[in-house]
């Protein structure tokens, strides 16, 4: 029974991540529709002005999982994208863009002592 609950929680979290992904795409289209200057990598279309989140620690760049920023520049010729993290610009090669996801909406997992702590979508556009 315990394993069934864990499997159910994993499915719920996956469903929420997929819902957040779909919501991000819809919010991007409404708030910052992709224009001529854009890059499509790793299943995302990123444009200047998009709100993004770092999804893994990158000690060399001094950015960490959960850091929020805004795409400030895309340089197609140099194959680079820059993100403004609270006034600090960080540059990514196009091959590193799997470290970023759209962040108009995200999920939150309220951790606590109980294994069935609630998980839900949060809109933060």
- Residue 42: pLDDT over 70: yes
Task: Identify which of 103, 111, 109, 113 has the alpha carbon closest to the alpha carbon of residue 71.
Answer: 103
What count of other Cβ atoms lies within 10 Å of the Cβ of residue 42? 13
Average pLDDT value for the chain: 82
Tokens of 46: 């990123």
Q: In the structure, what pLDDT confidence band is assigned to residue 113 with cuts at 50, 70 and 90? A: very low
The gap between the terminal CA atoms of the chain, to the nearest Å, is 39
Q: Within 10 Å of residue 93's Cβ, how many Cβ atoms?
A: 10
Examine the pLDDT at 118 and tell me if it is beyond 60: no
Q: Which CATH code fits 2-123?
A: 2.30.30.940
């Amino acid at each position: 029974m315990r394993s069934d609950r864990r499997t159910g929680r994993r499915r719920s979290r996956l469903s929420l991540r997929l819902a957040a992904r779909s919501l991000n795409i819809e919010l991007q289209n409404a708030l910052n529709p992709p224009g001529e200057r854009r890059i499509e990598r790793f299943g995302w279309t990123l444009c200047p002005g998009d709100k993004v989140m770092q999804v893994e620690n990158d000690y060399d760049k001094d950015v960490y999982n959960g850091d929020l920023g805004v795409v400030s520049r895309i340089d197609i010729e140099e194959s680079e994208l820059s993100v403004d993290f609270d006034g600090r610009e960080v540059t990514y090669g196009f091959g590193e863009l799997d470290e970023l996801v759209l962040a108009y909406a995200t999920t939150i997992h309220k951790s606590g002592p109980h294994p069935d702590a609630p998980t839900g979508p949060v809109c933060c556009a």
